[in-house]
């Protein structure tokens, strides 16, 4: 069986591409409209208005497109192939000697190209756009163009030292980004688990040369004494990465795989729960496999069963396939988190099941 693209590959691919893009545009448009309507409640806070909200939502379009693509792919594939089946074009192609697997490859090639673009977008444009959207909204609502992100009640751990900051923000100064924490407390434990030192700093800033503590008051606990030190400013030797603190207040789904991997390593190194980040990290790796497996599993329905069905039937089947698959995958992900199962296994099972069902349907319809 030759895998070299032929004229019928281009034709089938063009029909499927048009159906996927059309479905994708409709879903994305609805999602954007719903997101914009949810921003109405924030109008009037600071400088936040309709124009700012529109720009904010526009920045999130790459992330939304990445999220909606699998659903658009399966619905669009069924609608495109259903159109060919309804006009007997699939039957004509079969009469020319083209097998169902060969026609499925034509669809898979088109979807693989789109999926590759989405993977790149999900690792670059998606996280970047979300950061810009968050920065734009926060700057408008707080009337502070320097503030990039705010968070409170932050806790972090590095070895035997625990950090707590009541508030913090990411800032930009002379084109350089830095993190500033306020009302910071550092709890350092001794080897036997007792509190060794308690350090309070008015602010802690992370620049290129590391951490600087300002307004420092340190209490050192001995066996029967407490020693107090007051230091205007000092350098804090720490491997605690400001990027990790910033990612700690960003939803894992808005991070790139690289940032997710760094967050997982940081949490694992310091004994923190990393399951939410592991879940999202491995979902990114299985994203292209899931899209292709979902669409290939749905393709058998285009051969024969959709010939007599109209637009409503194809749309219904596409939605059922998409919802069923993502619900199945979500349940396996939750089971993996609850029972500490390897997420790679949890994310591999649903597409394998779908492909198994697809193979069985192909053999049944061919017999």
Is there a single domain that holds both residue 249 and residue 290?
A: no
Q: Which residue has the higher pLDDT, 244 or 45?
A: 45
CA distance 354 to 77: 16
Is there a single domain that holds both residue 214 and residue 177?
A: yes
- Confidence at residue 184, expressed as pLDDT on a 0 to 100 scale: 87
Q: Which residues does 315 contact at the CB level (< 8 Å), separation at least 6?
A: 75, 79
Does the pLDDT at position 74 exceed 90?
no
Is there a single domain that holds both residue 120 and residue 19?
A: yes
Is there a single domain that holds both residue 245 and residue 299?
A: no
Is there a single domain that holds both residue 243 and residue 289?
A: no
Q: For residue 271, is it within any domain?
A: no
Average pLDDT over residues 108-133: 88
In which domain, by residue range, is 175 found? 148-255
Is there a single domain that holds both residue 19 and residue 76?
A: yes
- Confidence at residue 61, expressed as pLDDT on a 0 to 100 scale: 95
Q: Which residue has the higher pLDDT, 275 or 33?
A: 33
Stretch (H or E) spanning 316: helix 311-339
- Contact between 150 and 138 under an 8 Å Cβ cutoff? The reply is yes
β-sheet bridge partners, residue 162:
157, 187
Q: For residue 135, is it within any domain?
A: no
- Confidence at residue 239, expressed as pLDDT on a 0 to 100 scale: 73
Does the pLDDT at position 150 exceed 70?
no
The pTM of the full predicted model, rounded to 2 decimals, is 0.69
Q: For residue 355, is it within any domain?
A: yes
Q: For residue 136, is it within any domain?
A: no
Is there a single domain that holds both residue 192 and residue 245?
A: yes
Q: For residue 69, is it within any domain?
A: yes
CATH at 200: 2.60.450
Share of the chain above pLDDT 70, in %: 80
Is there a single domain that holds both residue 120 and residue 155?
A: no
Is there a single domain that holds both residue 162 and residue 238?
A: yes
Q: Which residue has the higher pLDDT, 93 or 234?
A: 234
Q: Grade residue 26 by pLDDT with cuts at 50, 70 and 90.
A: very high
Q: Grade residue 151 by pLDDT with cuts at 50, 70 and 90.
A: very low
Q: Which residue has the higher pLDDT, 117 or 191?
A: 117
Q: For residue 242, is it within any domain?
A: yes
Is there a single domain that holds both residue 90 and residue 173?
A: no
Structural domains in the chain (count) = 2
Is there a single domain that holds both residue 162 and residue 195?
A: yes
Is there a single domain that holds both residue 285 and residue 350?
A: yes
Place of tokens 């720490």: 238
Q: For residue 261, is it within any domain?
A: no
- Contact between 166 and 182 under an 8 Å Cβ cutoff? The reply is yes
Q: For residue 267, is it within any domain?
A: no
Of 255, 287, 312, the residue at which a domain comes to its end is 255
Does the pLDDT at position 321 exceed 60?
yes
State the DSSP string of 165-193: EEEEEEEEETTEEEEEEEEEEEEEE-TTS
- Confidence at residue 172, expressed as pLDDT on a 0 to 100 scale: 60
First and final C-alpha spacing in the chain: 20
Report DSSP state, residue 209: T
């Amino acid at each position: 069986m030759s895998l070299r693209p032929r004229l019928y590959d281009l034709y089938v691919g063009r029909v499927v591409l048009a159906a996927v893009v059309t479905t994708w545009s409709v879903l994305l448009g609805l999602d954007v409209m719903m997101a914009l309507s949810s921003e109405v409640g924030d109008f009037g806070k600071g400088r936040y208005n309709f124009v700012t909200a529109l720009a904010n939502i526009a920045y999130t379009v790459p992330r939304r497109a990445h999220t909606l693509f699998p659903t658009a792919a399966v619905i669009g594939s069924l609608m495109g192939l259903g159109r060919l089946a309804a006009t007997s074009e699939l039957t004509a192609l079969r009469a020319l000697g083209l097998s169902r697997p060969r026609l499925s490859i034509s669809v898979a090639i088109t979807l693989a190209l789109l999926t590759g673009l989405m993977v790149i977008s999900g690792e670059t444009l998606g996280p970047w756009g979300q950061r810009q959207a968050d920065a734009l909204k926060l700057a408008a609502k707080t009337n502070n163009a320097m503030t990039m992100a705010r968070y409170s009640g932050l806790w972090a751990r590095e070895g035997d030292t625990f950090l707590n900051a009541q508030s913090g923000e990411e800032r930009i100064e002379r084109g350089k980004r830095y993190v500033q924490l306020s009302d910071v407390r550092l709890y350092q434990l001794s080897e036997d688990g007792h509190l060794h030192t308690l350090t309070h700093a008015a602010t802690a800033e992370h620049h290129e040369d590391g951490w600087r503590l300002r307004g420092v008051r340190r209490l050192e606990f001995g066996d029967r004494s407490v020693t107090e030190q007051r230091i205007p400013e000092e350098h804090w030797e720490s491997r605690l990465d400001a990027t990790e603190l910033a990612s700690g207040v960003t939803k894992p789904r808005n991070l790139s795989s690289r940032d997710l991997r760094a967050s997982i390593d940081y949490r694992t190194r310091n004994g923190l729960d990393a399951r939410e980040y592991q879940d999202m990290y491995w979902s990114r790796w299985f994203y292209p496999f899931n899209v292709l497996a979902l669409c290939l599993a749905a393709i058998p329905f285009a051969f024969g069963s959709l010939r007599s069905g109209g637009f409503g039937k194809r749309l219904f089947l596409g939605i059922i396939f998409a919802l069923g698959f993502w619900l199945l995958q979500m349940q396996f992900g939750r089971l993996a988190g609850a029972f500490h199962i390897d997420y790679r296994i949890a994310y591999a099972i649903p597409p394998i099941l779908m492909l198994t069902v697809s193979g069985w349907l192909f053999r049944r319809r061919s017999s």
